[in-house]
Chain A
């Protein structure tokens, strides 16, 4: 309110200097022009990056590039097949670890802990601490997750540079993403659904897994798809936990490289920029598809709510 008052006096003073209408509108035209420019520059930057990566990347992409394994060498010979497989394994394993925990945590926060809100005592304090954990974890930079994975999974637990180490470190990274998006999805379920179910004599858990979760499912899936994107594009964590071998990943303890890691090695170790761009184009194509599908689902959801 104070700000409002200040603002009004400020504008009042402006009025006294007899700034007339046409000058005020001229000012507005110029300002809005600049704002439009900001938006245009933003879109142009996106188009420049995506356009350049697609244009130069798709030149090197053919069936052979996608289906042959990298052969190493100074010019980054071979294709990228094993890196696609390694990425898929890593995405699957990371989600298999993080999804149950993340959705479980979200269910607890929304369905069980909301009764504790504003109360004092032991349990509300535990919930506050748990919430703080999620908030803090979401802000931790990925290289720190990498260090953590390196010291705990690679060294202390002796998993080595492996699919397992990478997936466990990756799961820590995406856990807050899954918790937050699932919470949002659960919050959109109308209270009447819960009350109806409870009134019919269902226990809280029956209500949650037969009524609330199925209703929130599309939103939860959106969160999972979002995390798929995070794992595909993440590099720093896997750079220090996955080892970087370009051979086929055959077990939980195989070293490997994701597509993003492959891009990094191509660009930095071999300077094979053309093949790196090819890999980049595939990566960006994945991200575009993920974004499109999320938009589609969320548009459906808003349509349903209306």
Chain B
């Protein structure tokens, strides 16, 4: 019996160790990446890294601004294109869909969530890029912000839809019934009661979607063109900005890490630190929003 109790204690500690692995890994990730990036912060300097507009490792120019701007613009594009669709689908699933239709739409979204990012990238290269190329603007290659935003919009849809749907579903039944009992239509209940009540959850869903968009790597490399320039319109028309080829923070790391050495390598780790910080910021915001609700 005593041996049994002792074994029980031992198991307790082994399991506790397992539970601590995640925090150990995240600490190791943060420490190692920051440590590897130190030579870049020291050697290149904060000002050059954050405000420099040229990234030419061969000429010792390491400005991250083009990539930071690129990541942000592509993410905005994905939000503009993807969020209305995603939230619409969430409202549909939570409030409108007959069970049978739900049984079709749900698995479709699950499959969208499961499709590998390289397959999205390939679909973008083979189908979307040639379509975008048809827009008659000088210098338009098809690769660039528009194609990348379209691909990203679909990739973040499952995240935004799932979390928004949960938020709408978790509105107490009394709200719904109270509103309907006042003689409103179902649609008035949705816009007047359900969406306002689920607002913070829906915002959290969008913020998590932003996090996913910022972190996406392979599909972005495949369709965005990867040239390192400050994103600017191709012609006098400001809308041609979306046809500009650019590069994301994630792409910058993936494309160059395998051959980079010295300060160049360290600058890529600095890219990682910027990306990590951006994503931690968005995720923390999302979690705070979700906790604020419950």
Q: How far is the CA of A45 from the CA of B117 in the complex (A)?
A: 15
Q: How far is the CA of A41 from the CA of B82 in the complex (A)?
A: 11
Number of residues of chain A lying within 8 A (CB) of chain B: 97
Q: How far is the CA of A139 from the CA of B293 in the complex (A)?
A: 20
Contacting pair A179 B22 (CB below 8 A): yes
Contacting pair A203 B5 (CB below 8 A): yes
Tell whether A92 is near chain B: CB-to-CB under 8 Å.
no
Write out the residue numbers on chain A whose beta carbons fall within 8 Å of the beta carbon of B122: 53, 263, 267, 273, 276-277, 280
Write out the residue numbers on chain B whose beta carbons fall within 8 Å of the beta carbon of A217: none
Q: How far is the CA of A112 from the CA of B272 in the complex (A)?
A: 36
Contacting pair B33 A52 (CB below 8 A): no
Contacting pair A105 B22 (CB below 8 A): yes
Write out the residue numbers on chain B whose beta carbons fall within 8 Å of the beta carbon of A113: 19
**Binary interface encoding of chain B residues 1-43 relative to chain A, with 1 for a CB under 8 A from any of its CBs, else 0:** 0001101100110111011111111111100110010000000
Tell whether B269 is near chain A: CB-to-CB under 8 Å.
yes
Write out the residue numbers on chain B whose beta carbons fall within 8 Å of the beta carbon of A52: 123, 127
Question: How close is A298's CB to chain B, nearest CB, in angstroms?
Answer: 11
Given A7-B196, A137-B22, A152-B28, does the pair A108, B16 have CB atoms closer than 8 Å? yes
Question: How close is A269's CB to chain B, nearest CB, in angstroms?
Answer: 12
Contact check: which of A56, A127, A268 meets B222 at CB < 8 Å? A268
Contact check: which of A38, A105, A206 meets B88 at CB < 8 Å? A38
Q: How far is the CA of A132 from the CA of B175 in the complex (A)?
A: 33
Contacting pair A143 B275 (CB below 8 A): yes
Write out the residue numbers on chain A whose beta carbons fall within 8 Å of the beta carbon of B109: 42, 46
Stretch at the interface among B51-59, B134-142, B237-245, B251-259: B251-259
Write out the residue numbers on chain A whose beta carbons fall within 8 Å of the beta carbon of B148: none
Contacting pair B117 A235 (CB below 8 A): yes
Contact check: which of B114, B184, B211, B222 meets A287 at CB < 8 Å? B114
Tell whether A117 is near chain B: CB-to-CB under 8 Å.
no
Contacting pair A43 B123 (CB below 8 A): no
Contacting pair A143 B21 (CB below 8 A): no
**Binary interface encoding of chain A residues 138-173 relative to chain B, with 1 for a CB under 8 A from any of its CBs, else 0:** 011111111110111000000000000000000010
Tell whether A216 is near chain B: CB-to-CB under 8 Å.
no
Q: How far is the CA of A37 from the CA of B216 in the complex (A)?
A: 27
Tell whether A205 is near chain B: CB-to-CB under 8 Å.
yes
**Binary interface encoding of chain A residues 266-297 relative to chain B, with 1 for a CB under 8 A from any of its CBs, else 0:** 01100001001100100110011011000100
Tell whether B197 is near chain A: CB-to-CB under 8 Å.
yes
Question: How close is A22's CB to chain B, nearest CB, in angstroms?
Answer: 11
Contact check: which of B11, B25, B96, B253 meets A143 at CB < 8 Å? B253
Write out the residue numbers on chain B whose beta carbons fall within 8 Å of the beta carbon of A306: none
Nearest to B248 among chain A residues (CB) is A143
Contacting pair A41 B85 (CB below 8 A): yes
Tell whether A260 is near chain B: CB-to-CB under 8 Å.
yes
Interface residues of A in 21-44 (CB under 8 A from B): 24-25, 27-28, 31-32, 34-39, 41-43
Contacting pair A144 B272 (CB below 8 A): yes
Task: Contacts A24-B185, A107-B15, A232-B116 known; list 8 others, CB within 8 Å.
Answer: A31-B190, A47-B108, A50-B115, A143-B272, A205-B11, A235-B118, A264-B118, A284-B116
Residues of B that sit less than 8 Å from A by CB? 4-5, 7-8, 11-12, 14-16, 18-29, 32-33, 36, 84-85, 88-89, 91-93, 96-97, 101, 104-105, 107-112, 114-123, 125-127, 154, 157, 161, 175, 178-179, 182, 184-188, 190-193, 196-197, 199, 211, 214-218, 221-222, 250, 253-254, 257-258, 268-269, 272, 275-276, 279-280, 283, 287
